[in-house]
Amino acid sequence: MTAAAQNELNSDLQFGPAGFARVVLRGRLNARTATACWNDLEQRLRGVKLQKLEVDADGLEFCDGGGLALLRYLSMGLMTPEATVSVHGLSTGLEQLFHGFTLDDYKALRPSSEVKCHPLPEEVGSGVRQAASDLREQVEFLGNVTRSILPTVMDRKRMRWTEVRRVFETAGANAVPIVSLVSILVGLIIAFESTQTLAKFGAQIYVVNMIGIIMVRELGPLLAAVLLAGRSGSAFAAEIGTMKVNEELDALQTLGLDPIRFLVVQRMMAAVLLTPLLAIYATFLGVTGGVLVAFSLGFKWSLIFHQLTVSLKVSDIIFGLSKGVAFGVIVSAVGCLRGLQTQEGPSAVGVSTTRAVVTSIVLIVMADAVFSVLFFVLKL
Amino acid sequence: MSDTPEIIISVRNLKVGYGENVILQDINFQVECGEVFVILGGSGSGKSTLLKNMIGLYTPLEGEIWIEGTNLVTAEGDERRSLLRKFGVAYQSGALFGSMTVLENVRLPLDELTALPDPLKELTALAKLKLVGLAAAVQKMPAELSGGMQKRAAIARAMALDPRILFLDEPSAGLDPVTSADLDLLITELAHHFGITFVIVTHELASINKIADRVIMLDNRKRTIVAEGRPAQLRDSNDPWVHRFFNREPDAVASGLHL
């Protein structure tokens, strides 16, 4: 026992004849002294064949929950499985408390440490079923939204344009600084990295052509959409998810208001109008980053501008913009759907938010691939 | 018991609020060891704010809160930590950790703050849960429990380290009369058998009459304590607001109904 614990509790273990032992406890039995005493007894009683163990608690001045646990542990025979154990000398109040929790209670309440293990086919099956039902829900949701969007937009009273304006501001205007920073840096990095390879062929000026096409056709809309998913798709899921947890969605329904008309249409409307704008902005800054690199290599402004105009066609810009619209639909629809799907419980909103961002990004990249194939076939 | 009861909490000249906004001032009271002390008041009277100052979550604007001879307002470092371990708090919503089972919730303070061997931690936690009548729910997640069970689990967790004082925030809010009465019984038993001092924030008249040894009453218009004493004394009070509260009479002016 440690010295500090010894000052508070005096425990004495005596061995008698014929497998008899006696523990005398005097002083204060609290969480700290009980720990020291338990370690001490464990060491000295391990492997000893005992018939009978007597615990004398007559000299205890104080005993807390941890101390009681030690007395119970001893009396349940958990330390000396073969011996019969008796505890004497507890004060009346303590005695009552001591008998309030018995070995039967312990056996009944002890959690089992078995971990349930499902066979592989079962796991795969349930995974596929879940994925299928998720897909079905997404399609259903998209159908619902498509059905509601026109009547809601046409009905000026129901549309709640102020809400659209609010989303436009939080998801769009407030995102400008971060979109600027990320796009200009991505433009700079790509241009800078590729000039080193292009220099080997003496084709450094083509970095402008390259950054123009990359940014307008691919990265501009993609960056805008990924940032929108991270900033606003997650916010949609969290807002609507919190409303669901707080029974606000139930309240809407009992008032006869459809959550899709009331909450989803506005957010999708704002996102669809917003994403192409953000995409144009991201493209412009990304190209600026590339142009800055070209300028720092010593090329003239007029040459850089000429290269840009010959490499880009109007169809490229249309291509980029149409992607922006599609990505806006994906991010807002997924964010709202995940919000509406929020389950109950404390971590539910967090789960919805994560799922919104992950699903959005996966779908954005998939849609991007589909667009590339489509435009290749259409020879745009 | 001796004639002069031991004072366990002493609140002196306390002024609480948020920044410029003073919610309560001139708060003075003492809590005796082993009593059930109730802080009473209407909605918005600052009961919960007072409680949050008393448990050290907020810092009061002025004044002192002495708990077992240490001033909570100025205590820092180890002194503050050892003071915090002298009391347990059960929050209004239970505040159980949603990702852990009920047993793990009760074990958490034992795991983090004591060096007890594992079997003893488990025994202690199980015994506390049986004490509050939750033997059947040890393996459940908090979300699976009813409101009353969550509050019991919160009390078990607050009791895990055998504190001398338990603070309860609205223990019977939102419970049916039977569950609420069960909880009252649990509180009285814990107070009488284990000498735990209770400081309870509530506005449930039925349970105040059953459990409270002493009551202070707060009023948001006067922003201070308007009455102090045993429940029976307050019931016969001459103060119109206290009288109205204890006799459930409506405040026609405040309610806006001029019929």
Residue environment code for A20-36, b if the CB has 16+ CB neighbours within 10 A, otherwise e: ebebbbebbbbbbbbbb
DSSP assignment, residue A127? H
Residue A273 within any structural domain of the chain: yes
Q: Which residues of A touch B128 (CB under 8 A)?
A: 65
Euclidean distance between CA atoms A75 and A93, whole angstroms? 18
Nearest CA in chain A to B130: A101
Same domain, A96 and A205: no
Q: Which amino acid is at B110?
A: L
ipTM of the complex: 0.76
- Supply the pLDDT for residue B2: 47
Euclidean distance between CA atoms A374 and A379, whole angstroms? 8
Concatenated DSSP letters of chain B? --SSPPEEEEEEEEEEEETTEEEEEEEEEEEETT-EEEEEE-TTSSHHHHHHHHTTSS--SEEEEEETTEETTT--HHHHHHHHTTEEEE-TT----TTS-HHHHHHHHHHHH----HHHHHHHHHHHHHHTT-GGGTTS-GGGS-HHHHHHHHHHHHTTT--SEEEEESTTTT--HHHHHHHHHHHHHHHHHH--EEEEEE--HHHHHHH-SEEEEEETTTTEEEEEE-HHHHHT---HHHHHHHTT---HHHHT---
Domain spans in chain B, listed from the N-terminal domain onward: 7-86+163-249
Given a contact cutoff of 8 angstroms between Cβ atoms, the answer to whether B172 and B207 are in contact is yes
Euclidean distance between CA atoms A207 and A220, whole angstroms? 16
Do residue A65 and residue B121 have CB atoms under 8 angstroms apart? no
Same domain, A186 and A291: yes
Given a contact cutoff of 8 angstroms between Cβ atoms, the answer to whether B187 and B193 are in contact is no
At A297-333, the pLDDT tens digits run 999 999 999 999 999 999 899 999 999 999 999 999 9
For range A110-127, the mean pLDDT: 83
Do residue A347 and residue B103 have CB atoms under 8 angstroms apart? no
Residue A122 within any structural domain of the chain: no
Euclidean distance between CA atoms A206 and A190, whole angstroms? 13
Residue A121 within any structural domain of the chain: no
Instruction: Report residue A52 as tokens.
Output: 């009978």
Residue A116 within any structural domain of the chain: no
At B23-70, the pLDDT tens digits run 998 999 999 998 999 998 888 888 888 999 999 888 999 999 999 989
Euclidean distance between CA atoms A279 and A179, whole angstroms? 9
Residue A121 buriedness (CB in 10 A; 0-12 / 13-18 / 19+): exposed
Euclidean distance between CA atoms A125 and A127, whole angstroms? 5
Instruction: Report residue A224 as tokens.
Output: 């805008």
Q: What does chain B come to in residues? A: 259
Q: Which residues of A touch B115 (CB under 8 A)?
A: 31-32, 35
Q: Which residues of A touch B94 (CB under 8 A)?
A: none
Do residue B120 and residue A35 have CB atoms under 8 angstroms apart? yes
Start-to-end C-alpha separation, chain A: 83
Euclidean distance between CA atoms A177 and A187, whole angstroms? 16
Same domain, A70 and A185: no
Side-chain-side CA neighbours of B48 within 13 Å: the count stands at: 12
Secondary structure of A221-284 as H, E, C letters: HHHHHHHHHHHHHHHHHHHHHHHHHCCHHHHHHHCCCCHHHHHHHHHHHHHHHHHHHHHHHHHH
At A149-193, the pLDDT tens digits run 888 888 877 788 888 999 999 998 999 999 999 999 999 999 999
Residue pairs between chains A and B whose CB atoms are closer than 8 Å:
88
Of the candidates B87, B106, B91, the one whose C-alpha atom is nearest the C-alpha of residue B164 is B87
Q: How far is B124 from chain A (nearest CA, A)?
A: 5
Residue A119 within any structural domain of the chain: no
Do residue B116 and residue A31 have CB atoms under 8 angstroms apart? yes
Domain boundary among A109, A139, A159: A109
Q: Which residues touch A256 (CB under 8 Å, ≥6 apart)?
A: none
Within 10 angstroms of residue A247's Cβ, the number of other Cβ atoms is 10
Residue A271 contacts B, CB cutoff 8 Å: no
Same domain, A170 and A222: yes
Do residue B119 and residue A96 have CB atoms under 8 angstroms apart? no
Residue B147 buriedness (CB in 10 A; 0-12 / 13-18 / 19+): middle
Do residue A100 and residue B127 have CB atoms under 8 angstroms apart? yes
Same domain, A276 and A136: yes
- A1 pLDDT above the threshold of 60: no
Nearest CA in chain B to A71: B120
Q: What's the order of all strands across the beta sheet hosting B36-41?
A: B87-90, B165-169, B197-202, B36-41, B214-219, B224-229
Given a contact cutoff of 8 angstroms between Cβ atoms, the answer to whether B106 and B156 are in contact is yes
Same domain, A87 and A151: no
Q: Which residues touch B122 (CB under 8 Å, ≥6 apart)?
A: A110, B103, B107
Secondary element (H or E) of residue A191: helix A176-200
Q: Which amino acid is at A96?
A: Q
Q: How far is B191 from chain A (nearest CA, A)?
A: 13
Residue A110 contacts B, CB cutoff 8 Å: yes
Same domain, A65 and A155: no
Q: Which amino acid is at A181?
A: L
Side-chain-side CA neighbours of A308 within 13 Å: the count stands at: 20
Euclidean distance between CA atoms A354 and A230, whole angstroms? 9
Q: Which residues of A touch B131 (CB under 8 A)?
A: 100-101
Residue A115 within any structural domain of the chain: no
- Supply the pLDDT for residue A273: 92
Same domain, A176 and A102: no
Euclidean distance between CA atoms B54 and B29, whole angstroms? 12
Residue A70 contacts B, CB cutoff 8 Å: yes
Same domain, A211 and A68: no
Question: Best mutation site among A30, A37, A64, A109 for testing chain B: the one with the most B CBs within 10 Å?
Answer: A109
- Supply the pLDDT for residue B151: 87
Do residue A110 and residue B99 have CB atoms under 8 angstroms apart? no
State pTM to two decimals: 0.71
Residue A37 within any structural domain of the chain: yes
Where in the sequence is the domain holding A196, given as residue range(s)?
Answer: 127-377
As a whole number, the mean pLDDT across chain A is: 89
Question: Best mutation site among A38, A45, A73, A101 for testing chain B: the one with the most B CBs within 10 Å?
Answer: A101
Euclidean distance between CA atoms B53 and B61, whole angstroms? 10
CATH of the domain at A29: 3.30.750.24
At A57-110, the pLDDT tens digits run 888 888 888 888 888 888 888 888 888 888 888 888 788 788 888 888 888 887
Among the partner residues B117, B124, B131, nearest to A38 by beta-carbon distance = B117
Euclidean distance between CA atoms A218 and A214, whole angstroms? 5
- Supply the pLDDT for residue B3: 59
Among the partner residues A39, A73, A347, nearest to B119 by beta-carbon distance = A73
Number of independent structural domains in chain A = 2
Given a contact cutoff of 8 angstroms between Cβ atoms, the answer to whether A22 and A16 are in contact is yes
Among the partner residues B114, B124, B193, nearest to A93 by beta-carbon distance = B193
Same domain, A239 and A272: yes
Do residue A72 and residue B123 have CB atoms under 8 angstroms apart? yes
Euclidean distance between CA atoms B161 and B88, whole angstroms? 8
* pLDDT over 90, % of chain B: 25
Among the partner residues B99, B115, B123, nearest to A73 by beta-carbon distance = B123
- A54 pLDDT above the threshold of 60: yes
Measure CA B213 to chain center: 14
Euclidean distance between CA atoms B30 and A298, whole angstroms? 81
Do residue B116 and residue A344 have CB atoms under 8 angstroms apart? no
At A324-369, the pLDDT tens digits run 999 999 999 999 999 999 988 778 899 999 999 999 999 999 999 9
Within 10 angstroms of residue B154's Cβ, the number of other Cβ atoms is 27
Residue A192 contacts B, CB cutoff 8 Å: no
DSSP assignment, residue A174? G
For range A18-42, the mean pLDDT: 87
Given a contact cutoff of 8 angstroms between Cβ atoms, the answer to whether A9 and A25 are in contact is yes
Euclidean distance between CA atoms A29 and A64, whole angstroms? 7
Residue A117 within any structural domain of the chain: no
CATH of B7-86+163-249, one of 3.20.20.80, 3.40.50.300, 3.40.50.1970, 3.40.50.40: 3.40.50.300
Nearest CA in chain A to B98: A346
As a whole number, the mean pLDDT across chain B is: 86
Euclidean distance between CA atoms A160 and B211, whole angstroms? 52
At B173-219, the pLDDT tens digits run 777 888 888 888 888 888 887 788 999 998 888 888 888 999 998 88
Same domain, A266 and A343: yes
Within 10 angstroms of residue A268's Cβ, the number of other Cβ atoms is 24
- B5 pLDDT above the threshold of 80: no
Among the partner residues B116, B128, B160, nearest to A34 by beta-carbon distance = B116
Euclidean distance between CA atoms B60 and B53, whole angstroms? 6
Q: How far is B221 from chain A (nearest CA, A)?
A: 31
What residues in chain B have their Cβ under 8 A from chain A's Cβ atoms?
98-99, 101, 103, 110, 114-117, 119-124, 126-131, 135, 138-139, 142-143, 159-162, 193-194
Q: Which residues touch B13 (CB under 8 Å, ≥6 apart)?
A: B26, B27, B28, B62, B63, B64
Gyration radius of chain A over CA positions: 35
